[in-house]
Amino acid sequence: MNFRAFDDGRLISIIVVTFGLLAGGCATGGDSALRQAGPGAEQIGNLIVNGVPPIPDELNQRLQQYQSTRAAAVRGWVEDKLLVTTRFGDTSQLHLVAAPLGTREQVTFFAEPVTQAYPPPSREDGFVFARDIGGSEFYQLFWYDWGSARSTMLTDGKSRYSSVVWDHAGEHFAYTTTERNGRNWDIHISDHTGSSRVALTTEAGAWSAEDWSVEDGKLLVARYVSINESYVYELDIDSGRLQPLLDESLKVAIGMALYSDDGKGVYFTSDLGAEFMRLHYKDLASGKVTVLTADIPWNIEEFAIAPDGRHLALSANEDGESHLAIWRLPDHSPLALAEIPAGVIANLAFSGDGDSLAFSLNRPNAPSDAYSVDVSTRELTRWTRSEVGGLNTAEFTVPELISYPTFDRVRGAARQIPAYLYKPSGPGPHPVVISIHGGPEGQYRPRFSSTIQYMVNELGVAVIAPNVRGSAGYGKSYLKLDNGVLREDSVKDIGALLDWIGGQSDFDAGRVAVMGGSYGGYMVLASLTHYSDKLAAGVESVGISNFVTFLTNTQDYRRDLRRAEYGDERDPAMRRVLEEISPLNHVEKITRPLLISQGANDPRVPASESAQIRDALVQAGTPVWYILALDEGHGFRKKVNRDYYTAAIMLFLQRYLMQ
C-alpha cells in the first residue's frame, strides 16, 4: 500500500477562482485569480504572482544548471528493456531504455506529467499508464498500444483511479476507483479495452488491490485507516467473500502483501508485535505467521517476488538509507550482493524471467537513476545516467546524520531528534535553513535536491532537515507522538532545534529561516507563530493554515483519512483544539516575511488555505510573496513553474536571510 497521497483538497469560495475540471481538473480563470490575489498581482505564464520582485537575470543564469538536472525512475520491464520516467522537456514522461546506458527513447508526449505505468506480465502488445490534468490527482487510466503508438483512455474522465495490479495471465487488472460517489474507494477489474466490472464495493477507509492469487481467482485487497491501522483481506472474486489475513481485532499496520509463488502463503509487512514494519509469512492452510526479519530493527519498506518464485528482494529503511537484500526461496537464504551506493532505493521490479532485479536509486549527491542486479552473477548494472546540468558532482554536499536534544525525556535522558545536516565549506557562522518534511507521517531521507545543493554551495547556507516526532521510520511509538492533542509537540521540536543552533559556533542563530511544504507548510506557519523572535523568514508551500477549514474542504475521498491523523473537527472539544493550534488564528504572532506558493488544483490542501493566510498577513502588514500556479496541484510538477518558484526562493533568502 502506498498512501503518501494523504500527505497534506477541493477549492472553496474563499479564493473565488473559476476552474473547469476536465478529467479532474485543469485551471482556467486567470483574471479572477488576479483579482483575488490583490492589488499589484500579475500573471506570468500560468503563475499568479504578488509581492515578488523581478527575478534578476544573473540569478536565473546561475540557477540554470541546477534547474537542468534530471532524474530517472524505474516503472517496470518490457521484455528485456526498462520502462522509466524522466524529463527531457517541461514534464516527466515515459521512456524505454533498450540496454544499460543506452538511449532513452521517449514513449509518451503530453503537456501533463506521466509518472505511473503498469506493464502487464505475459503480454507484449502494450501497457496501462495513469495521467491527470493540472495536478488534480484525479488520475485516468490509459492503454498504450506498442504497435500503433496510440493511447486510449479506459476510464470515465472525471473520477479518480489508482493502484493497478495485473493478473498473472496479463488479461485483466484490478484497480481502485472513486467513480461510484466520489468518496469511497471501490475495487474494479478491467481488461485493456476498458470493459470493467465491480469486484468490491467499500465503505470506510482507503482500499487498494495488492496481488492476484496464482490461479487469478482471488485478490489480496487492503483497507487503510491510518498509518498505524490497516487491514488485508483475501477477496474471492466470484463470490465477493472477504477473508481477513489477520484477526481484525488487532490494531496494527500492514504495508505490502503478496502471495507466495506456490499460492500456499502470503508475505506481508507489518508492525505486528513490534515497533517496526517487519516481513512476515502466513501459511494459509495452518494460519501460522512467521516473522522473517526479526533481526532487522528498521522498517522493511518494500519487497518483490520474482515471477519464477526463485527469489525475494527487500529493502530496509535504516535511519533514512535503504539497504537491499535478495533471498533465495523457499529457504530465505541471502545472496551476497555487490556493494550498492548509499542512498534511497525504490520501485523494486523483477524481470519476467526472474533473472534481474531493477530498482531506482536516489543518492544525496546524484539524482535518481535506474539500476539492476543480476541474481546469478550478483553484478550491479547502471541503466541510466541522469544529467546534472554540467555541474561537478564531486562538489555536491553529502549530508551528515546528526541528532539534537528536545524538550521531553526518555528513560531519564533528553529525547534525541534525528536530522540530516548539509554544511557549506568554509568558515562559519553560516545562515541556516530548517527544511521540514510533510506528511505528517513523512520522513526526511538523503535524496538528491538541486535546490538544497544550490543553497549550500552557492549561497553558503547550512540546511538542517529534522525528523521531528511523528515522522515515519523510527518506530510506531515515535510515529504516534504528535497525534491529536499532541500536535504542537512536533513544533516544540523545531523550537529545540533553534536552541541547539544557538549553541553551535558554526551557525548564525540570528539568520535562520524555516521552509516546508504540505504538512511541512503548516509547520513553517506554526514555527513562525511560536518562534518569530528566533527566525528571520519562512518559505511555505501548499500548507495548512487552519485545520478546521482544511478538514472541511479537502477532497471527499481524503477527509476521514485525515481526521484519523489530525482529529475530527465535528467533535466540539477537538474542534477547539484544532482552532487553537491553527496559525490563521494567531496571525499577529507571525512577524517575519513569508513566501507562499500554492497549486490552484490541489486536491489535498485546498488553495484557500494559502489564500486565507496570505490575506490575513497582508492585512497585518507582514511582508508576503505569493505564487499561485493555475495549472498545478499539490506542488509544482512543470519545469517552467518550478524554475520560477525556485528562483523566487533564492531571491527571497538573499533579501531576508543573507543580509
For residue 163, CA distances in Å to 60, 110, 140 come to: 39, 22, 12
Are residues 604 and 555 in contact, defined by beta-carbon separation less than 8 angstroms? Answer: yes
Q: Is-contact 335 366, C-beta < 8 A?
A: no
Angstrom distances, CA of residue 117 to CA of 122, 131, 311, 658: 16, 9, 24, 43
Distance CA(356)–CA(308), nearest Å, equals 11
Q: What is the pLDDT of residue 24?
A: 38
The alpha carbons of the chain give a radius of gyration, in whole angstroms, of: 24
3-class secondary structure per residue, 439-491: CCCCCCCCCCCHHHHHHHHCCCCEEEEECCCCCCCCCHHHHHHHCHHHCCHHH
SS3 at position 160: coil
Q: DSSP characters for 230-283?
A: EEEEEEETTT--EEESS-TT----EEEEEE-TTSSEEEEEE-TTSSS-EEEEEE
Evaluate whether the domain defined by 36-67+391-656 bears CATH number 3.40.50.1220: no
455 strand-pairing partners: none
Round to whole Å and give the CA distance between 653 and 642: 16
Query: How many residues are given for the chain?
Result: 659
Profile the chain (659 residues) by mean pLDDT over runs of 10 residues: 41 27 45 80 92 95 93 96 95 97 96 94 92 92 96 96 95 96 94 96 92 95 92 95 94 96 96 97 97 97 96 97 96 94 96 96 96 96 94 93 96 96 94 94 94 96 97 95 91 98 96 96 97 97 94 88 86 93 96 96 92 95 96 92 96 94
Q: Which helix (H) or strand (E) holds 20?
A: strand 19-20
What confidence score (pLDDT) does residue 556 get? 86
- Cell readout for 211 is 496481488
Closest by alpha carbon to 2, among 141, 199, 162? 162
The pTM assigned to this predicted structure is 0.92
For residues 214 and 247, the answer to whether their CB atoms sit within 8 Å is no
Residue 70, classed as helix, strand or coil, is: coil
Cβ-Cβ contacts under 8 Å for 324 (sequence gap 6 or more): 313, 314, 315, 337, 340, 345, 359, 373
Conformation bin of residue 157: beta by default, left when phi > 0, alpha when psi is -120 to 50:
left
Whole-number pLDDT of residue 15: 27
351-388 CB burial, b ≥16 within 10 A, e <16: bbebbbbbbbbbbbbbbbbbbbbebeeeebbebbebbb
Residue-level pLDDT at 29: 61
Among 541, 545, 522, CA closest to 646: 541
Q: What is the pLDDT of residue 47?
A: 94
| b/e per residue 450-460 (b: at least 16 CB within 10 A) | bbbbbbbbebe
Q: What is the pLDDT of residue 485?
A: 87
Q: What long-range pairs does 176-182 form, CB within 8 A, spacing at least 24?
A: 176/206, 176/207, 176/208, 176/209, 178/556, 178/557, 179/155, 182/556, 182/557
* Residues 144/167, Cβ–Cβ less than 8 Å: no
Verify cis geometry, omega within 30 degrees of 0, for the bond prior to 330.
yes
Per-position b or e across 591-625, b if 16+ CB within 10 A of its CB: bbbbbbbbbbbbbbbbbbbbbbbbbbbbeeebbbb
Q: What is the pLDDT of residue 268?
A: 98
Distance CA 254, CA 273 (A): 12
